[in-house]
Structure 1
Amino acid sequence: MLTVSIQKRLPDFLLDVSFSVQKEIVVLFGPSGSGKTTILNSIAGLIHPDAGRITLGEQTFYEQGDKPLPVQKRKIGYVFQDYALFPHLTVAQNIRYGLKPGHGLGLETLLNTVGIDHLLEKYPHQLSGGQKQRVALVRALATEPDILLLDEPLSALDADTRRQCQDELLRLHAMWSIPFLLVTHDRHEAEKLADVILNIEDGRIKESRAATSISR
């Protein structure tokens, strides 16, 4: 289980949130600038809260007064909004970048699941938006993380590709059975993907609720 209870002073407000995530998809929903990405970055260790605590299972990522756990020691997969693919590396090289020996043993199955095994020798500029999103997903999961963070990973895609990728996210979550924490400001996407929706405004959780049932 991921547990988050943090405070972080931002330019326009104080981010102050507390929540937990089990092996489910939790969506951080709300307008741009409400603190959603700051929450993801705090969990990943890219920034540090001013106060509070973040734990994943028995591991403490951050606790006020202690030295934060380094990014490389947190078993986290992160899919950024712009995908953050290395333009000078092929798809295969992007996926394998940073993998430690023994990791990525299920890579072939993962590649087949998302249908990008035929793209391994291509470069990012040769890929469509949907293909880049799939590569970023595979790269994040190839490290066998204990949690997957996704920062508006589908926002730049056309409607048809977006629906396809939503379905793939649901399939991957069923396969991996780890917490997924996803940021979006698209209400329909939140309802389709989430087990739980945290509605965030001005750095506070205004509402926490189970998602309305939508056919997956």
Structure 2
Amino acid sequence: MLVVSIQKKLADFTLDVTFSLDREIAALVGPSGSGKTTILNSIAGLVTPDAGKIQLGATLFYEQGKHPLPVQKRRVGYVFQDYALFPHMTVERNIWYGRHGEQTLKLEPLLAAVGIDHLLDKYPHQLSGGQKQRVALVRALATEPDILLLDEPLSALDADTRRECQDELLRLHEMWNIPFLMVTHDKDEAHKLADVILVMDKGKLRSQHTNNNEP
């Protein structure tokens, strides 16, 4: 279980949120600039809160007064809004980036699930938006994370591709059975994907409710 209870002073307000997440998909929704991405970055270790605690299972990521767990020691997968693929690396090299030591993960089922097994020798500039998104997803999961963070991962896609990728996200969640925490501005997307919807505004969690996954 992920437990987040943090405070962080930002430019226009103080982020102050408390929530927990089991092995489910949760969607952070709310206006731009309400602190959603800061929450993801705090979990990933890219931002250090001013106070509070972040814990995933038995692993303490952050607690006030203690040294934060370094980014590289957090088993966190992160799909950024712009995908952050390395342009000079092939799809295969992008996917394996961040893996250290023995590569024990069998990629074939994961590649087949998102339909990019034929793209391993391609470079990012040769890919469509949907293909880049799928590569970013596989790269994040190839590190065998204990949680997957997604910052508006589908926002740049056309409607048809977006629906396909939503279905793939649901399949990947079923395969991985770990918490997925995603930021989205699309309420229909949140209702389709998320088991839990967290509504943010000006750094505060205004509501948290279980979703029946019906649009």
| Residue 185 of structure 2 is aligned to residue 185 of structure 1 | yes
SS at match of 1:6: strand
Corresponding position of 2:67: 67
Query: Given the two structures, how large is their TM-score scaled by the length of structure 2?
Result: 0.98
Check whether the contact 1:52–1:64 (CA below 8 A) recurs between aligned residues: yes
Please state how far the C-alpha of 1:184 moved relative to its aligned partner: 0.5
1:135-158 CA-to-partner distances (Å, cap 9, x unmatched) read: 000000011100000000000000
Check whether the contact 2:193–2:213 (CA below 8 A) recurs between aligned residues: no
Measure, in 2, the Cα distance between the counterparts of 1:10 and 1:151.
19
Measure, in 2, the Cα distance between the counterparts of 1:62 and 1:7.
12
Percent of residue pairs bearing the same amino acid type: 72
Measure, in 1, the Cα distance between the counterparts of 2:203 and 2:158.
29
Please state how far the C-alpha of 1:62 moved relative to its aligned partner: 0.3
Corresponding position of 2:36: 36
| Residue 47 of structure 2 is aligned to residue 47 of structure 1 | yes
Query: Given the two structures, how large is their TM-score scaled by the length of structure 1?
Result: 0.98
Measure, in 1, the Cα distance between the counterparts of 2:204 and 2:58.
26
| Residue 5 of structure 2 is aligned to residue 8 of structure 1 | no
SS at match of 1:170: helix
Measure, in 1, the Cα distance between the counterparts of 2:88 and 2:104.
21
| Residue 72 of structure 2 is aligned to residue 110 of structure 1 | no
Please state how far the C-alpha of 1:126 moved relative to its aligned partner: 0.5
Check whether the contact 1:104–1:143 (CA below 8 A) recurs between aligned residues: no
Check whether the contact 1:26–1:197 (CA below 8 A) recurs between aligned residues: yes
Please state how far the C-alpha of 1:104 moved relative to its aligned partner: 4.9
Corresponding position of 1:22: 22
Measure, in 1, the Cα distance between the counterparts of 2:65 and 2:18.
18
- Give the 5 Å matches for 1:75-114: 75-114=75-114
> Structure 1 stretches of 5 or more lacking a match?
none
1:35-68 CA-to-partner distances (Å, cap 9, x unmatched) read: 0000000000001000000000111000001000
Check whether the contact 1:103–1:142 (CA below 8 A) recurs between aligned residues: no
Measure, in 2, the Cα distance between the counterparts of 1:73 and 1:43.
12
Q: Which runs of 4+ in 1 moved over 4 A?
A: none
**Aligned CA distance change for structure 1 residues 69 and 176 (closer, same or farther; 3 Å):** same
SS at match of 2:118: helix
Please state how far the C-alpha of 1:214 moved relative to its aligned partner: 1.4
Q: Which moved more, 1:95-104 or 1:182-191?
A: 95-104
RMSD: 0.9
Please state how far the C-alpha of 1:210 moved relative to its aligned partner: 1.0
